[in-house]
Amino acid sequence: MHNFDQLRDHCHLTRRYFLQLGSLAAAAWNASPLAAMSAAPDPLLKDAIAKLEYLAPLDRIQIADKGGTGVLKFSPEKLREVGLVPETWSLEVVPDTESTSAVEQPFTRAQGNALDWNHLMKLAERHAVRFLHPCICAFADDPFHTSLWEGVPLREIIWMAKPKANIRRVVYQSYHPEGLPPFQASLPLAQVLETPPGQVPPVLAYKMNGELIPAAHGGPTRVVVPGMYGDKAIKWIQRIVLTNDFKANDSDAAVHNADTESPMKTKARFLNAPTELKPGSPAALTGYALVGISGLAKVQYCVHSHNEPRPSDDPYWTKADWHDAAILPAPANWGRGLAGGKLPPDTSHMDPAKGTPLEWPIRFTLTHWAALLPGFPAGKYDLCCRTIDHNGIAQPMPRPFPRSGNNGIHRITLTVKE
């Protein structure tokens, strides 16, 4: 009953005011579908869009210590002692002694040939990759953060160890205190060694947002697997085991009952949405969409009055009155202290000459969206958002099961009253 065309009624700024907009808000507006509705954006939307951030500041990044390592409380001296600063860090690459794996050149601390920071940086000179990726737990509603990552593909490290035979999985393990098992995740060997064209390989990351990763954020090295949830993004990496075990023996699978082999799902969430309004008052909606394996075609929102009963046979809101929101373009300023707010020209999926994405939204990243909510009569309403992927499938389908990634429809209660 609330047509998207009603946005025109609220897009009433003068052209002079529009020309005074900040560059980020103006660029976002000009490239969005909302711009076609008027020569100037509604001030509510302008303000909401201007407040959106892409790369998260380090001081606002949430960090989880799932393995109970205690690293987040370590003093600088303790971090140095346990090898969690670049100067003392080292990485072992060994065969699994409980399987029949064969490795010609293992790297161990006992032999004195473990991979150290200088060797990692030499690999980085030839093989470093840079890419955008969110860090989000499979069970989380929202990402902990989105960052620009830099790292060395895991395959480069694996090949240095000269694997020979009977290897099916690559297990990578976190630092752990004596008496505790390592927190770990694993990948099929094929996924580590071979990457489809246009995709980013699993990496041993050492930088985020252009800065070395501190121990407080999982450094000096952590694994990032593009397209996968944070269950695969193990922090404080100190050991890699090559095994013939066929099972995904990830800690999160055993401890947290997660499906750690599932790629990211496409879903939408609100960032700015009203919970209270006066009758007839419009409101700006902004949010993000996590672009999963099936890509992103649309973001939609709906408003449903509590006075109207919902169909009992429609748990996924397929019969609701959905309306398209505007998917905003890539930011002109990516933020987080990057020089000029620009991404490095060799960032994956970016045009090195123009410094802009080759396509947008990029799979396995976030994108922002916006809409202007028209006024409503007094009452209570459900306000929801969802995505439509490039297969034409609406969230939370085709995988509505939370163990493989939380993608339930985001719903908030809106109260309209004087």
Q: pLDDT per residue over 327-357, tens digit each?
A: 999 988 898 778 888 899 899 999 998 889 9
pLDDT on residue 41: 52
Distance CA 258, CA 262 (A): 9
Classify residue 172 by its DSSP letter. E
Other beta carbons within 10 Å of 116? 16
pLDDT band at 38 (very low <50, low <70, confident <90, very high): very low
Residue 160 has pLDDT above 50, yes or no: yes
Structure token digits, residue 284: 């700006």
Q: Which is it for the CA torsion 333, 335, 337, 338, positive or negative?
A: negative
Cα–Cα distances (Å) from 44 to 37, 40, 53, 190, 323, in that order, read 15, 12, 17, 49, 19
Least confident of 58-67, 95-104, 207-216: 58-67
pLDDT on residue 260: 87
pLDDT on residue 236: 97
pLDDT on residue 31: 45
Q: How many helices (H) and strands (E) does the chain have?
A: 8, 21
Per DSSP (E only), the strands in 117-256 are 129-135, 145-153, 163-165, 169-174, 184-188, 203-208, 211-212, 222-224, 237-243
Cβ(107)–Cβ(240) below 8 Å: no
Q: If you average pLDDT over residues 93-113, what whole number do you get?
A: 95
pLDDT band at 17 (very low <50, low <70, confident <90, very high): very low
Classify residue 58 by its DSSP letter. G
pLDDT on residue 341: 86
Distance CA 74, CA 361 (A): 39
Least confident of 9-13, 83-87, 143-147, 170-174: 9-13
Bond before 279 cis per omega within 30 degrees? no
Q: If you average pLDDT over residues 176-188, what whole number do you get?
A: 93
Nearest to 140 by CA among 274, 264, 11, 272: 264
pLDDT on residue 11: 35
Q: If you average pLDDT over residues 43-61, what whole number do you get?
A: 74
**1 or 46: whose pLDDT is higher?**
46
pLDDT on residue 140: 87
Q: How many residues does the chain have?
A: 418
Q: If you average pLDDT over residues 360-369, what whole number do you get?
A: 94
Cβ(52)–Cβ(43) below 8 Å: no
Q: What is the pLDDT of residues 231-254, one digit of tens each?
A: 999 999 999 999 999 988 899 887
Q: If you average pLDDT over residues 277-296, what whole number do you get?
A: 94
Residue 22 has pLDDT above 50, yes or no: no
pLDDT on residue 47: 74
pLDDT on residue 173: 97
CB hemisphere CA count around 59 (13 angstroms) = 1
Structure token digits, residue 410: 């985001």
Distance CA 370, CA 25 (A): 12
Q: What percent of the chain shows pLDDT beyond 70?
A: 89
pLDDT band at 42 (very low <50, low <70, confident <90, very high): low
Instruction: Look at the pTM and tell me if it is higher than 0.75.
Output: yes
pLDDT on residue 6: 31
Q: Which domains does the chain have, with CATH numbers?
A: 4-51+265-416 (2.60.40.650), 63-255 (3.90.420.10)
Residue 98 has pLDDT above 70, yes or no: yes
Q: What is the pLDDT of residues 202-214, one digit of tens each?
A: 999 999 999 999 9
Residues ≥6 apart with Cβ < 8 Å to 261: 248
pLDDT on residue 137: 87
Q: If you average pLDDT over residues 383-395, what whole number do you get?
A: 98
pLDDT on residue 64: 82
Q: What is the pLDDT of residues 294-336, one digit of tens each?
A: 999 999 999 999 999 999 999 999 999 999 999 999 988 898 7
Least confident of 12-26, 307-321, 365-379: 12-26
Please give the mean pLDDT across all residues of the chain. Answer: 87
**405 or 33: whose pLDDT is higher?**
405
Q: What is the pLDDT of residues 119-151, one digit of tens each?
A: 999 999 999 999 999 998 888 888 888 899 999
pLDDT band at 55 (very low <50, low <70, confident <90, very high): confident
